[in-house]
């Protein structure tokens, strides 16, 4: 039983304890014992949880206190199971290093560089990535396919002449819910100091061979595995010229009606050393927007009435990453940044956000601007240029583990609940939540989560069983609520933030 949030009505404590015990009983076999909350439980609901293969919520997770400070794992944290830990152990820093160095060796990968030279330019890099991904896919028994997703970009900003832009896309089709899709990408184009310079050396080791190497390493490892949902691993072009390749890929998903429930771009994830020489080798930043980029005027009016500036689909995706990918299994802390991207900057997740797909960006903890967007040169004894010797390949491997933990768990767990709402047909101090039941064959039930409005993480979790409606005896005026799905192995989905429903 979780402690009552500040301001909750103490006279209802016994009733809520009864509901929690009944909910736990209803989901027996789904998650043995109640999920961990802001403090140890009391009474009949306080049975000791076991550790299912997928990873139940962290035992003893403290989450965020009433003042919003995080003093332990979130209450929604999930321990990695044996299968995931085995997968994470397969990440190979040496392979990642070899991929980064090979990409840097193409001289330049500028979007406007040669497309038909077998040794130098973006065309040579494209063909090499395609061959490598096809080699990985050959081990999949037909479940992974690789395509060159190509179009001609007509003259536009930073594109002076019609230019073919090609994404290299590996798709691992899910077994039971293939129409639900998760995307991990990096961009394989590069640039020198002048963004229109297509001939000078632009090795692009950190920006962004590092992100491409992560997508390729995940393709190698996942090709022989089966997942419930579909995973897309992509190397996209045209990022430095204006996010062109990512926009084309996102638009293809939109036109086809694809249910993209999560997208991560890895861009500048190659170094743990800042421009002042300090190192932070165990932190990766995850940028996640608050107010949705694609919010409509009606949605904005609703948000202003009920709150939720910190509860966009991107923020729920970021919380999920912290839940499953931060800790000893990856060796990393995931520092969620409450911005769409770095200050006044952008990346390949933005075209997905513009099309209403949840998306976020991984980036190293502090950038060194001498080693990105710079001509290769030496000035006053200082080496400039985005060269492989300034990468930390062990660090890239740890970021790859964060990505793998996140996308593997997403693809094995149930999808994010749809239709989540708070019933507002009558004024009441209780909170009645409703949602649509998912269609996953191994769906076992749902959990309701909540937190103080000042808390960054969910602090309370209540199992409610295989139902589509539940009432919490707490006021929606004072707390934020959400709902997540649970499968029979105890895997949890990201949280869905409810909207008003009559």
Q: What residues contact 477, with CB distance under 8 A and at least 6 apart?
A: none
Run of H or E residues at 264: strand 259-266
Residue 5 has pLDDT above 50, yes or no: no
State how far the Cα of 208 lies from the Cα of 186, in Å rounded to an integer: 7
Residue 334's beta-bridge partner residues?
Answer: 284
Contact 190, 207 (CB under 8 A): yes
Contact 184, 232 (CB under 8 A): yes
Question: Can you state the percent helix, strand and coil of the chain, rounding each to 5?
Answer: 30, 25, 45
Among candidate residues 253, 283, 280, 227, the one with its CA nearest the CA of residue 414 = 227
Mean pLDDT of all residues belonging to the chain: 89
Among candidate residues 385, 343, 387, 386, the one with its CA nearest the CA of residue 361 = 343
- Confidence at residue 73, expressed as pLDDT on a 0 to 100 scale: 80
C-alpha radius of gyration, the chain, whole number? 23
State how far the Cα of 489 lies from the Cα of 455, in Å rounded to an integer: 29
pLDDT by residue (tens digit) across 23-64?
A: 333 333 343 333 333 333 333 333 333 334 445 554 333 344
**Rounded mean pLDDT, 173-192:** 98
φ/ψ (deg, to 5) at 168? -105, 115
Q: What residues contact 129, with CB distance under 8 A and at least 6 apart?
A: 103, 168, 188, 212, 216, 235
Distance between first and last Cα of the chain: 30
State how far the Cα of 275 lies from the Cα of 294, in Å rounded to an integer: 35
DSSP 315: H
CB neighbour class for 312 (10 Å; exposed up to 12, middle 13-18, buried from 19): buried
Taking CB atoms within 8 Å and a gap of at least 24, the contacts of 68-72 are 68/452, 68/454, 68/455, 68/456, 70/456, 70/457
Torsion, Cα of 275, 278, 284, 285 (10° steps) = -50
Pairing of strands 259-266, 359-363: parallel
Peptide bond into 153 cis (omega under 30): no
State how far the Cα of 453 lies from the Cα of 459, in Å rounded to an integer: 11
State how far the Cα of 382 lies from the Cα of 374, in Å rounded to an integer: 12
Pairing of strands 377-379, 382-384: antiparallel
Q: What percentage of the chain exceeds 70 in pLDDT?
A: 86
pLDDT by residue (tens digit) across 196-213?
A: 999 999 999 999 999 999
Cα distances (Å, whole numbers) of residue 304 to 249, 289, 308, 310: 32, 16, 8, 12
pLDDT by residue (tens digit) across 218-235?
A: 999 999 999 999 999 999
Residue 470's beta-bridge partner residues?
Answer: 433
- Confidence at residue 56, expressed as pLDDT on a 0 to 100 scale: 53
Q: Is 0.75 topped by the overall pTM?
A: yes
Extract the tokens encoding 221: 């490892």
State how far the Cα of 255 lies from the Cα of 249, in Å rounded to an integer: 10
φ/ψ (deg, to 5) at 300? -65, -40
Among candidate residues 123, 286, 103, 132, the one with its CA nearest the CA of residue 210 = 103
State how far the Cα of 269 lies from the Cα of 365, in Å rounded to an integer: 8
Residue 18 has pLDDT above 50, yes or no: no
Sorting pLDDT into bands at 50, 70 and 90, what band is 452?
very high
Q: Around Cβ 181, how many Cβ atoms within 10 Å?
A: 24
- Confidence at residue 39, expressed as pLDDT on a 0 to 100 scale: 34
State how far the Cα of 355 lies from the Cα of 246, in Å rounded to an integer: 12
Extract the tokens encoding 281: 């080798």
Torsion, Cα of 115, 121, 123, 128 (10° steps) = 160
Among candidate residues 237, 146, 231, 255, the one with its CA nearest the CA of residue 189 = 237
**Cα 177 from chain centroid (whole Å):** 19
Among candidate residues 122, 117, 115, 196, the one with its CA nearest the CA of residue 373 = 196
User: DSSP secondary structure string, 469-483?
Assistant: EEEESS-TTTEEEEE
pLDDT by residue (tens digit) across 93-132?
A: 999 999 999 999 999 999 999 999 999 999 999 999 999 9
Contact 98, 388 (CB under 8 A): no
Cα distances (Å, whole numbers) of residue 134 to 33, 292, 311, 478: 44, 36, 39, 53
pLDDT by residue (tens digit) across 321-346?
A: 999 999 999 999 999 999 999 999 99
| Alpha helices (runs of H) in 365-501, residue ranges in sequence order | 393-412
Residue 9 has pLDDT above 60, yes or no: no
Q: Is 403 helix (H, G, I), strand (E, B) or coil?
A: helix
């Amino acid at each position: 039983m979780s402690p009552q949030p500040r301001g909750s009505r103490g006279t209802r404590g016994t009733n809520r304890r009864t509901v929690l015990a009944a909910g736990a009983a209803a989901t027996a076999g789904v998650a043995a014992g109640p999920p961990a909350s802001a403090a140890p439980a009391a009474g009949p609901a306080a049975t000791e949880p076991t550790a299912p293969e997928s990873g139940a919520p962290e035992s003893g997770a403290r989450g965020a206190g009433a003042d919003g400070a995080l003093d332990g794992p979130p209450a929604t944290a999930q321990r990695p199971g044996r299968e995931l830990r085995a997968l994470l152990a397969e990440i190979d820093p040496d392979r990642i290093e070899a991929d980064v160095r090979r990409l840097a060796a193409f001289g330049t990968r500028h979007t406007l560089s040669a497309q038909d030279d077998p040794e130098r330019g973006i065309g040579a890099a494209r063909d090499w990535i395609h061959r490598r991904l096809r080699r990985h896919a050959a081990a999949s028994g037909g479940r992974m396919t690789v395509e060159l997703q190509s179009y001609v970009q007509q003259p536009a900003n930073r594109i002076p002449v019609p230019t073919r832009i090609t994404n290299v896309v590996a798709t691992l089709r899910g077994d039971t819910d293939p129409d639900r899709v998760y995307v991990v990408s990096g961009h394989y184009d590069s640039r020198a100091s002048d963004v229109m310079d297509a001939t000078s050396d632009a090795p692009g080791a950190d920006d962004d061979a590092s992100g491409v190497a992560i997508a390729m390493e995940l393709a190698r490892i996942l090709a022989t595995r089966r997942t419930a949902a579909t995973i897309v691993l992509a190397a996209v072009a045209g990022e430095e010229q204006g996010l062109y390749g990512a926009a084309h890929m996102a638009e293809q998903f939109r036109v086809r009606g694809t249910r993209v429930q999560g997208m991560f771009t890895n861009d500048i994830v190659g170094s743990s050393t800042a421009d002042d020489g300090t190192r932070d080798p165990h932190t990766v930043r995850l940028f996640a927007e608050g107010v949705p980029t694609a919010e409509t005027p009606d949605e904005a009016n609703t948000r202003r009435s009920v709150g939720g500036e910190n509860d966009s689909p991107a923020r729920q995706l970021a919380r999920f990453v912290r839940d499953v990918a931060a800790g000893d299994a990856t060796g990393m802390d995931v520092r969620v940044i409450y911005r769409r991207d770095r200050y006044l900057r952008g990346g390949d997740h933005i075209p997905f956000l513009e099309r209403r797909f949840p998306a976020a960006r991984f980036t190293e903890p502090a950038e060194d601007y001498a080693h990105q967007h710079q001509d290769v040169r030496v000035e006053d004894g200082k080496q400039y240029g985005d060269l492989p010797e300034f990468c930390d390949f062990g660090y890239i491997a740890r970021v790859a583990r964060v990505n793998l933990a996140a996308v593997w768990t997403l693809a094995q767990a149930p999808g994010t609940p749809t239709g989540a709402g708070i019933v507002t047909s009558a004024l009441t101090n209780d909170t009645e939540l409703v949602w649509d039941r998912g269609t996953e064959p191994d769906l076992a039930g749902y959990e309701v989560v909540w937190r103080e409005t000042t808390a960054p993480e969910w602090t309370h979790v209540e199992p409610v069983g295989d139902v589509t409606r539940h009432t919490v005896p707490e006021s929606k005026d004072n707390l934020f609520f959400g709902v997540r799905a649970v499968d029979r192995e105890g895997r949890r989905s990201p949280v869905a933030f409810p909207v008003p429903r009559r």
